[in-house]
Amino acid sequence: MEHITLLVGVVIITALVFDFTNGFHDTANAMATTISTGALSPKVAVAMSAILNLVGAFLSVEVAKAISGGIIDESAGLQPEVIFAALVGAILWNLLTWLLGLPSSSSHALFGGLIGATLMAVGTSGVNAGAVMSKVLLPAIAAPIVAGLAAWAATRLTYRINRNADEKVSGKGYRAGQIASAGLVSLAHGTNDAQKTMGVITLTLITVGALAPGSNPPTWVITSAGVAIALGTYLGGWRIIRTMGKGLTDIQPPQGFAAQTSAATVILASSNLGFSLSTTQVCSGSVMGAGLGRKGGTVRWSTAGRMAAAWGLTLPAAGLVAAAAEFLARQGDWGVIAVGAVLVAGAGSMYLISRRKPVDASNVTADDLDAPATAAAPACPAAQAVTVPAQGGPHGAPALTPIAGGAPATAGDAGSEPAATAV
């Protein structure tokens, strides 16, 4: 019993770590366009998003119930090791796509991990195929298309209505609108994504008999999941923010407002219906739709293609990692420890690699995505002296004129010794 209690604690902590990565991985969903258009400074934007994610976590539990009692069969005899393995697969995929700056789906990473680990543990009987199709796969296809079309139409309408308006005045108004719509997306993100971790923790408690099947998440589960995703959001996933705000298309304030409003509408509607869709895919689709909605606007299809490839790989890749982790974890205590060690080593390695080329609030909106935030002036050796001849020296001899830091040269006084100044 003590072993089970300890393992359940490990699973709950791991679930909150996933929630934390979900927060910084998906900050771009709400704030990328707001930051890229200058409506909010980067740090203010992520702080606002974090607060609203926390609030959103308390608004609904429909998505959490879909995970804890819909996609995975609670009565299939799952053990905490299975959920632990699923979370490891999801976290490692989240960190890999974060490192690459790809806005992939944290939701699908979690679903892939749960499905892969469950299939390895108990076979197909543990997965509700109908729920996977209706609650995961169909929304994954439909949601970005619907959001993209809505954003395209909203952008076209916005520019048509304001075709004779003063650009500076309308731009200021749309930046204010972006702040409101970004807040709505953040609220929707908390409503949808924080619930996924609530569902995982609730499923864990059900598997060990701490909760009855079909139970709603306890208050402490809702609170801890909300706090974890809010902290991750405040950290800011700058790599993915840069891809969404600058790498996918060039966004102007009217487009940003249209994209965020469309995305928030789709996310909130799906949350109320219990559809556990990917907020990343919805927001990416709306950004592309807004990019195409402006006359002369373009989408960088090479970036969009890499994103689509990551979307397609997320479910199977996270599932394969989770299946391997489950196979190792079922071997006993040493297997669980080994899986935990793999998680820590993988996460640490990706963090160290990311430090080679850091992205933060200072360079997230740089036009050249590969350029550093600031270019340092080349340093010269302190002891090096540079002298050039100047006219007007005594007795026809050239005087030596010091040059320091590019300042204009002036001839030395008559009779004075030649001077040399270090630069």
pLDDT digits (tens, 9 = 90+) for 220-242: 999 999 999 999 888 877 888 87
Rounded Cα gap, residues 360 and 232, in angstroms: 14
In a domain, 372, yes or no: no
Residue pLDDT, tens place only, 93-120: 999 998 888 888 888 898 899 899 999 9
19 and 142 part of one domain:
yes
Within a domain: residue 364? no
Same domain for 69 and 100, yes or no, is yes
- Domain membership flag for residue 196: yes
Q: Is 90 within the bounds of a domain?
A: yes
Sign, Cα dihedral of 22, 24, 30, 33: negative
Using one digit for the tens of pLDDT, what is the confidence trace for 305-325? 888 888 889 999 999 999 999
Shared-domain flag, residues 291 and 411: no
Tell whether 386 and 283 lie within a shared domain.
no
Is 0.85 surpassed by the pTM of this model? no
Residue 175 shares a structural domain with residue 254 = yes
Asked whether residue 150 is assigned to any structural domain, the reply reads: yes
304 and 404 both lie in a single domain: no
How many domains does the structure of the chain reveal?
2
363 in any annotated domain: no
Do 346 and 388 belong to one domain?
Answer: no
* Whether residue 199 is found in the same domain as residue 307: yes
Range(s) of the domain holding residue 74: 2-354
Does 111 fall in a domain? yes
In this structure, the answer to whether residues 325 and 412 fall within a common structural domain is no
255 part of a folded domain:
yes
Please check whether residues 40 and 188 belong to one and the same domain.
Answer: yes
